[in-house]
């Protein structure tokens, strides 16, 4: 079946560092891909998405590019802030419209 | 526009009891999904309802059930509670259409259930 694998956390970085959170998926066809974020004490929210190969989703300085060759959707940000500390989930949507969630990666940004 | 509202926010039950959680989706959203979130298992999909019909179901025992009303509000019920049912239960709504889904979910803040 479909699955999503993302790097284990926690990932700890200093402010202004470059961020990459790796995500790979297995699926038949080309699923839509998403990154969701859960800030401390807040509900989960959609961060960005890409619906077809080579699409780049972006929001709040974060980017992720849909790479069908490597079946990846890595999340990147050029300069992280303390306020980016959160748990990040990589998600794919299968052909039955069911969302397949990664395990989540906790990101800790130190000032 | 009001967000997804879940009630109650916190509750404590004992083993063997049953619990009902409620979710009011964003106005106009016809799809409601439920998730269980625990530190050990992460986010686990329970079920999804669209226009009062269960459209998808996760891999949970029959003690977990849900329903959706004509106004799109949804409830989930857990019977014969076990210690392992302690978790944050999240509800999400989406602007899904028949036979289509954007994957863009709007989550509530969750109902935190503690089973003693």
Asked if the Cβ–Cβ distance from B104 to A42 is below 8 Å, we say no
| Average pLDDT of span A95-103 | 85
pLDDT band at B18 (very low <50, low <70, confident <90, very high): very high
Which residues 58-97 of B are in CB contact (within 8 Å) with A? 90, 92, 96
Name the percent of chain B lying above pLDDT 90. Answer: 81
How much of chain A exceeds pLDDT 70, in percent?
100
Within an 8 Å CB–CB cutoff, is residue A11 touching chain B? Answer: no
Report the SS3 class of residue A82.
helix
Confidence at residue A62, expressed as pLDDT on a 0 to 100 scale: 98
Asked if pLDDT for residue A92 goes beyond 60, the answer is yes
Local confidence band at A95 (pLDDT 50, 70, 90 cut-offs): confident
User: Tens of pLDDT along A27-58?
Assistant: 888 899 999 999 998 889 999 999 999 999 99
Predicted confidence (pLDDT) per residue in B66-114, tens digit: 999 999 999 999 999 999 999 999 999 998 766 567 788 999 999 999 9
Q: Minimal Cα distance from B4: which residue of A?
A: A43
Residue of A nearest to B88 (CA): A43
Q: How far apart are CA B11 and CA B8, in angstroms?
A: 7
- How far apart CA B34 and CA B46 sit, in angstroms, is 5
Q: Specify the pLDDT at position B99.
A: 56
CA distances to A21, A57, A78, B38 from B64, in Å: 33, 35, 43, 16
- What is the average per-residue pLDDT within B8-36? 96
Q: Would you give the end-to-end CA distance of chain B in angstroms?
A: 37
Cβ-defined contact of B107 to A45 (cutoff 8 Å): yes
pLDDT of A9 > 90? The answer is no
Residue of chain A minimizing CA distance to B44: A101
Q: How far is B15 from chain A (nearest CA, A)?
A: 27
Q: How many CB pairs under 8 A join A and B?
A: 47
In this prediction, residue A78 carries a pLDDT of: 96
**What is the per-residue DSSP string for A33-58?**
EEEEEE-TTS-EEEEEEE-STT-EEE
Tell me the CA distances in angstroms from A90 to A93, B23, B74, B111, one per residue in order. 11, 24, 26, 23
Quick check: A45 contacting B, CB < 8 Å?
Answer: yes
Structure tokens at B95: 């602007």
Between chains, do A97 and B45 touch, taking CB under 8 Å as contact?
no
Q: Do B103 and A49 touch (CB under 8 A)?
A: yes
Query: Is B39 or A25 the better-scoring residue by pLDDT?
Result: A25
Q: Is B63 or A96 the better-scoring residue by pLDDT?
A: B63
Q: How far apart are CA B5 and CA B9, in angstroms?
A: 9
Q: What pLDDT shows up at residue B102? A: 77
- Nearest by CB to residue A98, choosing from B4, B56, B109, is B56
Is the CB of B90 less than 8 angstroms away from the CB of A44?
yes
């Amino acid at each position: 079946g479909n699955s999503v694998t993302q790097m284990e956390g926690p990932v700890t970085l200093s402010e202004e560092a470059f961020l990459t959170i790796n995500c790979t998926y297995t699926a038949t066809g080309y699923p839509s891909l998403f990154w969701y974020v859960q800030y401390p004490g807040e509900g989960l929210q959609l961060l960005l998405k890409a619906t077809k190969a080579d699409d780049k989703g972006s929001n709040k300085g974060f980017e992720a590019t849909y790479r069908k060759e490597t079946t990846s959707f890595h999340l990147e940000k050029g300069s992280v802030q303390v306020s980016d500390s959160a748990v990040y989930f990589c998600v794919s949507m299968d052909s039955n419209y069911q969302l397949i969630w990664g395990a989540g990666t906790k990101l800790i940004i130190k000032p | 526009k009001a967000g997804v509202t879940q009630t109650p926010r916190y509750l404590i039950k004992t083993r063997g009891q049953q619990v009902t959680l409620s979710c009011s989706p964003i106005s106009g959203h016809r799809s409601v999904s439920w998730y269980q979130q625990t530190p050990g298992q992460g986010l686990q999909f329970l079920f999804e309802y669209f226009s009062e019909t269960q459209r998808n179901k996760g891999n949970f025992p029959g003690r977990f059930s849900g329903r959706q009303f004509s106004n799109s509000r949804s409830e989930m019920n857990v019977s014969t509670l076990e210690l392992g049912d302690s978790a944050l239960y999240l509800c999400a709504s989406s602007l899904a259409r028949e036979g289509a889904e954007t994957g863009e979910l709007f989550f509530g803040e969750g109902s935190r259930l503690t089973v003693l």
